[in-house]
Amino acid sequence: MLLSEIKEGQTARILRVGGTGALRRRIFEMGIVKGTKVYVDKYAPLKDPLEIIVMGYHLSLRVEEASQVTVEPIQTDDGQKPSDNRRPPSVV
């Protein structure tokens, strides 16, 4: 599944980062690397860009950029995906 396909309020783990050259390097520099957990906070009204929380900070990505990132949704303990109102704990 692609990061651009994850719904608001869901958490996912990065499996692979595609793309080439400067785009791929930029994504890595923002902390989007294999094994990292990301939380999709919200989409803009027209669904582009999307805002994610990665390593405790908010990051906006274009849907085109997010479609280069392969993820797996993370299930909660009861087998359900996180609800829309669930947010990760704040990092201080």
Coil, strand or helix at 5: helix
pTM score, whole prediction? 0.74
pLDDT at 11: 93
Q: Is residue 44 part of a domain?
A: no
pLDDT at 78: 47
Q: Is residue 42 part of a domain?
A: no
Quote the domain boundaries for residue 27.
Answer: 3-37+55-73
pLDDT at 77: 54
- Name the domain count of the chain: 1
Return per-residue pLDDT of the chain as tens, 92 residues.
999 999 999 999 999 998 888 888 988 888 889 999 999 999 999 888 999 999 889 999 999 999 999 999 997 554 444 444 445 555 54
Q: Please provide the DSSP assignment of 10-67 as one string.
A: -EEEEEEE---HHHHHHHHHTT--TT-EEEEEEE-TTS-SEEEEETTEEEEE-HHHHT
Q: Is residue 12 part of a domain?
A: yes
Beta pairing partners, 61 = 50
Q: Is residue 14 part of a domain?
A: yes
